[in-house]
Amino acid sequence: MSMPTPLPVSAPAGFAPLAAIGFTQADATLSPVSSTTPLPVTVQGSSPSAPLEGTATGPATAGPFALTSASPVILSLSGTWTGTVRVLRSVDGGATRLPLTMAGQPFATYTGNCCEAVWEEGASGAELYLNIALTSGTLSYRIEQ
C-alpha cells in the first residue's frame, strides 16, 4: 500500500503522529516494511511427523511420536474402554520416559475419550509415548501435530 506524498493533515489537530514497522538490514540500517520489503520471517521446525495412531485392547506402550515443531500436539482417544492412558515424554530416545506434569501435578492422564491439545515442545529430539493401561474394551488413539 502506498501513501500519498506529501501526507495531508486535517484540522483540528494540525499534526499526525506516524508509526511504522521496520527491521534491521545486514548493514545495520532500518528498512520499513512495505510491499517491496516484506517483514522477513522464518517458519521454525520441519514438516510434521506422520500421526501416531492405532488401537489397543490391553496394556501397551505406543510410540515414539517425534515432535517436529512448536505447534500443539493433539491427542484423540476414542472407543469403549476402561483404564488409563498417560502421555510420557522422552529426550533420550525413549530410555527415560517421564509423565507430563504441570506445577508438579499429573497432567495428560486420561480415563475417557478426548480430543485436545496436550503439549507444545521446544526441545529438539523430544518424543512422546502413550502408556496404555486398559482393563477392558478397545481404545483407538491418535497423536498428531
pLDDT value at position 33?
80
DSSP letter for 93, please.
T
Q: Rounded CA gap, 38 and 95, in Å?
A: 45
Q: Tell me the whole-structure pTM to 2 decimals.
A: 0.69
Q: Rounded CA gap, 139 and 82, in Å?
A: 9
pLDDT tens track of the chain, all 145 residues? 555 566 565 666 666 666 777 777 778 777 778 788 787 775 555 567 899 999 999 999 999 999 887 789 999 999 999 999 999 999 999 999 999 999 999 999 999 999 999 999 878 889 999 999 999 999 999 999 9
**Residues 6+ away with beta carbon under 8 Å from 29:** none
Which option is the CATH number for 52-144: 1.10.10, 1.10.287, 2.60.120, 1.10.3470?
2.60.120
Amino acid at 144: E
CB 94 within 8 A of CB 35: no
Find cell 520441519 and name the residue: 46
CA atoms within 13 A on the CB side of 41: 5
Backbone CA torsion sign across 68, 100, 96, 75: negative
